[in-house]
Amino acid sequence: MIKTIHHNLVRYAPAMLRIPARFTPFVLQKEILLRVMKTVFQEALEDGDFEFLENQWLKVEIRDLGLCWYISYENDKLQVAEHSSRVDVCFSGELNDLILVAAHKVDPDTLFFQRRLRIEGDTELGLEVKNLLDSIDLETLPKLMRQGLGELARFIESAQLDVSAMPIAGKTA
């Protein structure tokens, strides 16, 4: 019973979050996204590791939330837009999968080959974005952010494990 509730919470959480996420004004989404990216990528930004994104547009889409943002790098700053006339590369996935990638609990290549993470557009640019994501050192994140992300990822992982261990209806061992 508890395993079923746990699984259903993880399974249906994106659907429950979809409406509030879509009604959150873009200006607030942008502010939050920029703050999180500046925190997560502080070292990469200081080292100029985002220069490959200059004059390029990355579309990031969380499919099950119906959210997407366009990200670029201009004048040594990250840019976030609600729309872009062009997209050079697009990363899209489901919320739970993207949380697992962010927490380094699953390799993005694994999700890509399982067709759960989509990378479309400029292959070279997509590889640079993926490598930048892979290079994030979670230990450099603020403790609260690191712990919150870790706990959320463990909760998602354990729900997925619980389901894989459940007997299939009508089958006996």
pLDDT tens-digit series, residues 102-140: 999 999 889 989 999 999 999 899 999 988 888 888 898
- CATH number of the CATH domain containing 127: 3.30.1050.10
Count of beta carbons in the 10 Å neighbourhood of residue 156: 23
| Structural domain includes residue 144 | yes
Residue 155 lies in a domain: yes
Neighbouring residues of 130: CB distance < 8 A, sequence distance ≥ 6: 108, 109, 119
pLDDT (average), residues 27-34: 96
Q: What is the pLDDT of residues 63-117, one digit of tens each?
A: 999 999 999 999 999 999 999 999 999 999 999 999 999 999 999 889 989 999 9
On whether residue 169 sits in a domain, the answer given is: no
- Tell me, yes or no, whether 173 lies in a domain: no
Q: Provide the CB-side half-sphere exposure for 90 (13 A, CA).
A: 15
Residue 172 in any domain: the answer is no
Number of domains comprising the chain: 1
Interatomic CA distance for residues 107 and 111, integer angstroms: 7
Domain of 94, in residue numbers: 2-163
Using the predicted structure, report yes or no on whether residue 19 has a pLDDT greater than 70.
yes
pLDDT digits (tens, 9 = 90+) for 134-166: 888 889 889 999 999 999 999 999 988 755 544
Kind of pairing, strands 67-74 and 77-81? antiparallel
**Average model confidence (pLDDT) for the chain?**
89
In a domain, 77, yes or no: yes
pTM: 0.85
Residue 137 lies in a domain: yes
